[in-house]
Structure 1
Amino acid sequence: MTTIDPSRLVFVGGLHRSGTTPFSRVLDGHPDICGLTGTGVKEDEGQHLQPVYPKAKVYGGSGRFAYAPQAHLTEESPLVSAANAEAMLAAWRPYWREDARLLVEKSPPNIVMGRFLQALYPGSAFVVVVRHPVAVALSNKKWRRFTSSDPRKFQSLSGMVDHWMRAHETLAADLPHLDRVLVVHYERLVSAPQEELARVADFLGLSTPIDHSALSASRGDPYAARWAEYAGPALRPGAVQRRLITRRFGDRMRAYGYDVDDLSAFTPPSGPASLRS
């Protein structure tokens, strides 16, 4: 079996419900790129196939995993070894078309594992998708309602926003250690897809454009409408959570380029908390 050149590997990360799945599918539509397909696991995520590191659900799953220090893997992890690098590739390669120039693996916990993946596969690329923390929280609440009956998996909107902050603080601290990394903001991806995907194509060294026709800005509309409802009378459902989120996280959101009142906008931020993009 031939060894896969690590420079062909592209790891996509981002919190659950941040847009990593539609983004990865768009990448997979390019003739030079192949993502994991036909795996039989949730969203074709590589984390569910590999035998080396614990899956996000071990640390509480979406809305919780980034709190666990053990989930933040770096080049210092004892799991970094040539044997483990080969074991992970062996689990993924049956689901790639190996004649593709670039091979994509997408898993949400990659957002806090970039340094680990880089240590295993020097020269690989890392793309992280970032979305407004409130939109991520609202989407997770809706998603969990339909995918789980375990009451331990439910938490408040403010708790999910707090988890977003923790995950992205970890990411911001890791970015200077990553050699090939691109931050993609979901809001730009759906509002100006041609421009944003041209940036991605340039980063990946593609000679032809990435098709943007499958991306739609309307996907986030229900969450914006729900958030607007929460701005109503104090006793209405959600109003307490909106006030709490605004008070606790409004300034911190702005440091990342997000306005607590507008779920569709992203403004490039400045300051120590900003994510290089």
Structure 2
Amino acid sequence: MLPHRYVFVGGLHRSGTSLVARIIAGLPGIAAIRNAPVPENEGVYLQGAIPHTARHGAPMHFATDPAQHHVEGSPYDKRATRDRMEADWAPFFGAGSWRVEKSPVNLTRMRLYQQLFPLSQFVVVIRHPEAVAGAVAKWVDGAPGDLIDHWIAAHEILATDLPFLHNVVVLRYEDLVARPMDWRAALAAFLGVPAEDTVPEDIADRNGNYLGHATLTRAQAQACAAWGYGPGMEVMPYAPQIRHSLNETRGAIRATLGWAAST
């Protein structure tokens, strides 16, 4: 058995995954990848067990590429994959009972990672599709409506994967920036570590920077309503999806947030 556990953070590019990973890394007993010679300290670039290039992880493309949807029983579902990942990551992690690894592509690898690291847990970060489309426009070509369609398709895949996971939290960027202290405490409860009293950086809602860049059509709005998103950057009430194998942990997260949550 490994002497540490992993919490994998994933989500579409520009959804807030880096912010969430930094918050988790600031909790007691959490080791993180720091000062690595790769973009955003993303572990996916540091391992050679599963091929990863710019094409594999292209923003607004990877999540709907069937070849990037790694699940149990795939060719990478074997001990050798886990051992290679462990060896490749080891030089970049410090000591800690938990290791937080953030890569956007984790969004479509959670089922495989759960097989490789059975005690791992997952945090998925989602953000209003209009904001995501606006934020990634500087990187990718494509009409805003097409980028929103990709967001919808990616989250439909997410919805089908969630029932296979034992321990996962789906966290909206908008809820995090509205209640950063509560969500920091909730993430601590999810991992079973003490919460800290401060948030290490200024957390502000930057969705307004992209208002008007793209607007959901009626059909798109119907698809996004399940996640609590509407046209014009509207954010509607949403019960966070929380899965954990222990009732006590689920209860602690609910108590911290003061919300009823799905199991």
TM-score (ref. length: structure 1)? 0.81
- Pairing of 1:244-263 with structure 2 (within 5 A): 245-263=216-234
- Which deviates further from its counterpart, 133-142 or 254-263? 254-263
Q: Once superposed, what is the RMSD of the aligned Cα atoms?
A: 2.1
Q: Find the partner of 1:157 among 133, 140, 144.
A: 144
Query: By how many angstroms is 1:90 displaced?
Result: 0.9
Q: CA deviation at 1:157?
A: 1.1
Asked if structure 2 preserves the Cα contact closer than 8 Å seen for 1:30 and 1:210, the reply is no
Q: Deviations over 1:63-106 (max 9, x none)?
A: 111221111100021111111101011111111112x1210111
The 8 Å contact of residues 137 and 160 in structure 1, kept in 2 or not, is answered as yes
Task: Name the SS of the counterpart of 1:58 in structure 2.
Answer: coil
Using a 3 Å threshold, how does the CA distance of structure 1 residues 92 and 276 change in structure 2: closer, same or farther? farther
* SS of aligned partner of 2:8: strand
Summarize deviations over 1:95-140 as a string: whole Å, max 9, x none: 1112x12101110011111100001110111111111111111000
Q: Does structure 2 conserve the Cα–Cα contact (< 8 Å) formed by 1:190 and 1:215?
A: no
Query: Which deviates more, 11-20 or 158-167?
Result: 158-167
- Say yes or no: does 1:141 pair with 2:137: yes
Partner of 2:76: 79
Amino acid in structure 1 at the alignment position of 2:2:
I
Would you say the 8 A contact 1:18–1:131 is kept in 2? Answer: yes
2:176 is aligned with 1:189? yes
Question: Which sections of structure 1, spanning at least 5 residues, go unmatched?
Answer: 145-152, 231-240
Name which of structure 1's ranges 195-204 and 51-60 shifts more when overlaid on structure 2.
Answer: 51-60
More helix by share: 1
TM-score (norm 2): 0.85
1:208 to 169, 172, 195: 195
**1:56, 1:71 within 8 Å by CA — same for their partners in 2?**
no
Q: Which residue of 2 aligns with 1:28?
A: 25
Deviation (angstroms), 1:5: 3.6
Contact 1:14 / 1:128 at 8 angstroms: preserved in 2? yes
Residue 168 of structure 1: which of 145, 155, 168 is its match?
155
SS at match of 1:183: strand
Contact 1:12 1:24 in 2 (8 A): yes
The offset of 1:219, in angstroms, is 2.6
CA–CA separation in structure 2 for the residues paired with 1:4 and 1:269: 34
DSSP 3-state at the match of 1:129: strand
Q: Distance in 2 between matches of 1:215 and 1:158?
A: 31
Matches within 5 A, 1:97-108: 97-98=94-95, 100-108=96-104
Q: Which amino acid aligns with 1:192?
A: R
The Cα of 1:262 is off from its aligned counterpart by 2.6
**Can you give the 5+ residue segments of structure 2 that lack an aligned partner in the other structure?**
241-260
Count of residue pairs the alignment pairs up: 243
SS at match of 1:138: helix
Cα separation, 2, equivalents of 1:36 and 1:184 = 21
Distance 1:222 1:172, change over 3 A: same
Given that residues 187 and 266 in structure 1 are in contact (C-alpha distance below 8 angstroms), is that contact kept between their aligned partners in structure 2? no
**3-state SS in 2 of match to 1:57:** coil
CA contact (8 A) 1:66 1:167 kept: yes
Give the secondary structure class of the aligned counterpart of 1:207. coil
Q: Which one has the largest radius of gyration?
A: 1
- Per-residue Cα deviation, 1:180-199 (whole angstroms, up to 9, x for no partner): 11111110110111112211
CA distance in 2, matches of 1:133, 1:113: 21
Alignment-mate amino acid for residue 4 of structure 1: L
1:268 paired residue number: 238
Shift of 1:215: 4.3
